Structure 1
Amino acid sequence: MVTLHQNGSWPTSYHREAYWCFAVTACIGCAHNGDFFRGLQLLDTAVILGLPRRQISAFFDYVENHATNSSMYAHWLSCKWRFGKMEDYSQRSVARDRLVRDGLSRPISFPMEECDFSSLSQREFQDMYVAYSKALVIRNFASSWPAIKKWCDLDFWVKEHGHRTVPIELGSMMKKGGMKEQLMTMRKFISSYLASSSDNGCWTLDSIQKDTTKDKIAYLAQHQLFEQMTDLLNDIDASPSFCGESGPVHINTWIGTGGTRTPLHFDSYDNLFVQLVGCKYVRIYNSDQSEKLYVMRKKDSPYGLQGNMSALDCENEDFEKYPLARTSEFVEVLMFPGDCLFIPSRAWHYVRGLSTSISVNFWW
């Protein structure tokens, strides 16, 4: 772990696998002594650092079940807390209207094509959008998923999963000083960040650019949370038919305070991005706009290693420094609970959280 903290990555795959072996061995010792809580922390950390749960699925299930039946867990449940619920933006409301009015840095000028889920067949989706790499908003795609109502409740997360260890990004890649990652329990993530973020309601672009907010922004970002907490799969459709016959390759979870910003970048997979709690603003540029988007290179920034990040600060562009970006073309959308966005492979996209929010995305 010292090597990982010092270098930011494992020197070789052997170092990573050696850590996995250590974590599982240490967990066996904890389980032998009846300390399943500590054992589960070790396994959570190993999965966060890349250990596929399927390789130890029976042992993981054993430790997980005993941890939730232990006296330590009973004590956990007896603790008094009440964090309440995040705002439910799934229906038209005064709070939702306020997000539209105050959350955007400017009115939507280049709306993305959209349709209702009930009016779109799988064949139409494949033939008209996937085949042509054309972005599409599908309203009410996930409106019937249990997660829409269930995951709004912060007390649900604390009661069921508050003892679990998760990786949290603190700060922002788009601000001076960047972000740092820290492992913490879900309960600490909620009590220290999500609860106060929910009280704040709408997060404007101006407010998150102030130094006073830098310690309030936190993000469980692009994490395969379902590898750790498999029961959460019951709350979503884990293999949407729109992902094709083979289904998704990865399912990522995004849980964050308001004010999170994912810089302009592209991915190598086709992507279904589903909003479950809260609201996000998303902007998409087609891949043919790449020459105008000032792609970062390794010499420019550590974030330029993969060649899929743009130097543009979306919503706050410096057109004197990046003049070609002035004529770049994009489409944009506000995502509410239940909405799904198809992001084609290699399409550039930027995302900002206007409120405390939860999303999942399916790469296929």
Structure 2
Amino acid sequence: MLYPIISNVSQQQLMRCAEVLDEAILIGCTQGLYEGSDEFQTKLTGYISKALENSTQTPLPIIKTLKRQQLKCDIAVLDCPSIQDFRTKCFKTDRPALLLNTITHWPALQKWRDLNYIHQLAGNRTVPIEIGSNYTTDEWSQQLVKIRDFLHRQFTNTDNEIEYLAQHELFDQIPALKADIRIPDYCILRTSDSESPAHVSIKAWLGPKNTISPLHYDPEHNLLCQVFGRKHIILASPADTPNLYAHESEMLCNTSQLDAAQLDFEKFPLSAKAIFYNVTLQDGDCLYIPPKWWHYVRAESESFSVSFWWS
């Protein structure tokens, strides 16, 4: 990759270098392949971004801080719990909880509001984008898109079809962004007696208002951290799985047929037996979701979330 940069610094060639880098990461799983790979990626991306910088492009917005609201919460609310308190009240009991003031030290809480900052670090990088309101609809699809195009379409023009950077390991692809967050200490807790450290998978969720993740469950512990924006989450216990009408197909067996925001008791009568818990995630909040707890997520504003999954 270095040869084409040295031999030909045309914009077309530089863009192709960025594409090759992303193809290698997205398809080849090159993360951690060699010592210093993160540093190399960061420097190479910085070089390409600076060379391709377009001062004539319309600036992106700075996302406003939403005024914090006092909202009803159906689950436990813990203010920056110690690891022991989290273990006792949440982890060991498999109970969800809203965690306050646990990520206030993240630089991302301020830096990422300025979408020009993300554009500068990663605008020329290619990522998988979900197109459509949610992945269970016939209209839903995925495309590989430049981050700069995604940001301009979704945050400067509200007339476009909803696109969502969802469940993507963005921070392996762009290590410079990972420097703005920290893995929460709660992720060191293990459900087994293994002495080896737990692998923590970090996912990015960036999109406009009204992105939806339909009611589904994940097999791992999940800490969903809200960098900016507001999300409404509806939870249901694994005990209610028989009442939640999971799809029969293997691909969607962890996803419910219900629209959790508008339950249809005539079509799905058993859903009337289920107990649902509502919570709103605001700037700087974290939601702990235990394994196999069902959750529906809807963005009530422009939103950037980071989730940490671990076994």
TM-score under structure 2 length normalisation: 0.88
**Which of the pair is proportionally richer in strand?**
2
Deviation at 1:335, TM superposition (A): 0.5
Distance, in Å, in 1 between the alignment partners of 2:288 and 2:308 is: 10
Instruction: Note if contact 2:41-2:174 (Cα within 8 Å) is conserved in structure 1.
Output: no
After TM superposition, the structure 1 stretch with the greater mean CA deviation from structure 2, 127-136 or 177-186, is 177-186
Distance, in Å, in 1 between the alignment partners of 2:307 and 2:145 is: 23
Deviation at 1:139, TM superposition (A): 1.4
Q: Please list the CA deviations of residues 87-144 of structure 1 after superposition, one character each: whole Å capped at 9, or x if unmatched.
A: 212x43xxx69xx7xxxxxxx5x62211211xx2111111221111000000122122
Deviation at 1:65, TM superposition (A): 2.3
**Among residues 194, 203, 222, which one is paired with 1:271 in the alignment?**
222
Distance, in Å, in 2 between the alignment partners of 1:66 and 1:323 is: 56
Deviation at 1:33, TM superposition (A): 3.8
Distance, in Å, in 1 between the alignment partners of 2:45 and 2:247 is: 45
Partner SS state of residue 196, structure 1: coil
Distance, in Å, in 2 between the alignment partners of 1:321 and 1:148 is: 42
**Among residues 251, 257, 270, which one is paired with 2:202 in the alignment?**
251
| Corresponding residue for residue 185 of structure 1 | 146
Pair 1:240 & 2:184 matched: yes
| Corresponding residue for residue 116 of structure 1 | 79
Q: Please list the CA deviations of residues 137-191 of structure 1 after superposition, one character each: whole Å capped at 9, or x if unmatched.
A: 0012212211111111111122222111111111123674331111111110111
Deviation at 1:230, TM superposition (A): 0.3
Distance, in Å, in 2 between the alignment partners of 1:148 and 1:330 is: 30
Deviation at 1:223, TM superposition (A): 0.3
Q: Please list the CA deviations of residues 5-30 of structure 1 after superposition, one character each: whole Å capped at 9, or x if unmatched.
A: xxxxxxxxxxxxxxxxxxxxxx4664
**Among residues 69, 74, 79, which one is paired with 2:47 in the alignment?**
69
Aligned in 2, Cα 1:59/1:315: closer, same or farther, shift over 3 Å?
Answer: closer
Partner SS state of residue 345, structure 1: coil
**Which of the pair is proportionally richer in helix?**
1
Aligned in 2, Cα 1:240/1:67: closer, same or farther, shift over 3 Å?
Answer: closer
Aligned in 2, Cα 1:148/1:60: closer, same or farther, shift over 3 Å?
Answer: closer
Q: Which amino acid aligns with 1:323?
A: P
Distance, in Å, in 2 between the alignment partners of 1:340 and 1:63 is: 29
Distance, in Å, in 2 between the alignment partners of 1:123 and 1:288 is: 26
Pair 1:38 & 2:16 matched: yes
Aligned residue pairs: how many?
299
Identity over aligned pairs, percent: 31
Deviation at 1:249, TM superposition (A): 2.2
What are the residue-to-residue correspondences of 1:96-111 with 2, within 5 Å? 108=72, 111=74
- Name the Cα RMSD after superposition: 2.4
Aligned in 2, Cα 1:157/1:67: closer, same or farther, shift over 3 Å?
Answer: closer
Q: Which amino acid aligns with 2:141?
A: K
Q: Which amino acid aligns with 1:179?
A: W
Distance, in Å, in 2 between the alignment partners of 1:157 and 1:60 is: 17
Distance, in Å, in 1 between the alignment partners of 2:244 and 2:3 is: 52
**Among residues 109, 125, 138, which one is paired with 1:164 in the alignment?**
125
Distance, in Å, in 2 between the alignment partners of 1:64 and 1:127 is: 40
Distance, in Å, in 2 between the alignment partners of 1:60 and 1:241 is: 23
